[in-house]
Amino acid sequence: MPDALDSLEQQLDGVRKASAPPLHLWHPELSGDIPIHIRADGVWFHEGSEIQRDALVRLFASILRRESDGEYYLVTPVEKWRISVELHPLVVVDVDVRGRPDTPVLWCTLNTGAAFAVDGQHRLFLEPTVGGVAALTLPQGLTALFS
C-alpha cells in the first residue's frame, strides 16, 4: 500500500513545519487500514520493514491519535488510516528536572524529540502489563512508556 503512505506524506508536506497539526479540527471518514505497526519499543514499521527516516516517524507521530474506540489512527484533513500499536505508541527516552529549586518540573523527552512537562494534563501512571513501568499521558489520547 505504498500509495497510501505516499499520499499521507504529500498531504502533510506543508504541515512539517508546524509544531502541532490541528488534529482536533480534522474528522475525515476512515480510509482503511495501513500496514504501519509500532512495536513496544517505539520502533515504527511499514509493511514489515522498519521506517528508517526519523523525520518521517516524527511526521507520522505528529498526526497520530487514539480515538474512543481504542484504535490508533494517522489523520490528515482528508484521510484517516488505522494502524496497529503493540503497547504504547511513544517512548520516553530522557527525563530532566527544570525550573527553580523551589518549584522543580519534571520534563520527559520522547523518541520523536518532543518534550512534555509532567503536570495536570500530562500525568504519570504505572503500566501493569510490563511490571509497573511508568508511562506518561499525552495529547490526542496517546501515551509514552518510559524506556
Cα angle: 86, vertex 90, 93; to 5 degrees: 125
Question: Above 90 in pLDDT, residue 4?
Answer: no
Phi, psi angle pair for 59, to nearest 5°: -60, -50
Please give the Cα distance from 45 to 47 (Å, whole number): 7
Give the tens place of pLDDT for each residue, 97-135.
998 899 999 999 999 999 999 999 999 999 999 999 999
> Are residues 23 and 80 part of one domain?
yes
> Do 66 and 108 fall within a single domain?
no
Average pLDDT for residues 137-143, to the nearest whole number?
Answer: 97
Same domain, 78 and 103: no
pLDDT at 133: 95
The CATH number covering residue 54 comes to: 3.10.540.10
Q: Based on the fold, state whether residues 7 and 78 are members of the same structural domain.
A: yes
Residue 50: domain span = 2-85
Q: Are residues 31 and 74 in the same domain?
A: yes
- Of 85, 113, 133, which closes a domain? 85
Residues 72 and 14 in one domain: yes
Over the stretch 53-78, which tens digit does the pLDDT of each residue have?
999 999 999 999 999 999 999 999 99
State whether 81 and 115 are in the same domain.
no
CATH number of the CATH domain containing 119: 2.30.270.10
pTM for this model (two decimals)? 0.85
Looking at 40, 69, 85, which one is the last position of a domain? 85
Over residues 83-103, the pLDDT tens digits come to: 999 999 999 999 999 988 999
Model confidence at 3, pLDDT cuts 50, 70, 90, reads: low
Q: What is the pLDDT of residue 20?
A: 85
Residues 43 and 109 in one domain: no
Pairing of strands 143-146, 133-137: antiparallel
Amino acid symbol at 108: C
- Based on the domain organization, do 81 and 99 belong to the same domain? no
45 pLDDT above the threshold of 70: yes
Domain boundary residue, one of 85, 109, 138: 85
What's the total number of domains in the chain?
2
